C-alpha cells in the first residue's frame, strides 16, 4: 500500500499533502504511544496518520470553499 501511495502521487503533491500529516502523526505517536509493543505502536501510528490526513483534507476543502472570489 505504501509503495502504491508513493508511486501514484507526484513528489510535489506527496510533500504538500502527506508530509504535514506524517509529521503531526509522528509527533503524536512519539509523545503519547507507549504500548511497549512495536506492532501496537505501528498500528496506532498508521491509524493516527489516516485520521490526521482525513482531518486535514476536510479542513482544506472547507477553507477552499470559503475563499473570496476575485
Tell whether the torsion through CA atoms of 26, 29, 34 and 40 is positive or negative.
negative
Closest CA to 56 of 24, 32, 33, 34: 24
Query: Can you give the residue ranges of every domain in the chain?
Result: 12-62
**Cβ partners under 8 Å of residue 18, min gap 6:** 5, 9, 53
Tell me the three cell numbers of residue 65. 470553499
DSSP-based three-state secondary structure for 60:
helix
Instruction: Tell me the pLDDT of the chain (70 aa) as tens digits.
Output: 678 877 888 888 888 888 999 999 999 999 999 999 999 999 999 999 999 999 999 998 888 866 555 5
Amino acid at each position: 500500500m505504501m509503495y502504491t501511495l508513493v508511486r501514484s502521487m507526484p513528489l510535489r503533491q506527496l510533500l504538500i499533502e502527506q508530509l504535514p500529516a506524517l509529521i503531526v502523526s509522528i509527533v503524536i505517536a512519539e509523545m503519547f504511544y507507549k504500548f511497549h509493543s512495536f506492532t501496537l505502536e505501528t498500528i496506532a501510528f498508521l491509524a493516527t496518520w489516516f485520521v490526521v490526513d482525513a482531518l486535514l483534507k476536510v479542513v482544506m476543502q472547507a477553507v477552499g470553499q470559503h475563499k473570496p472570489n476575485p
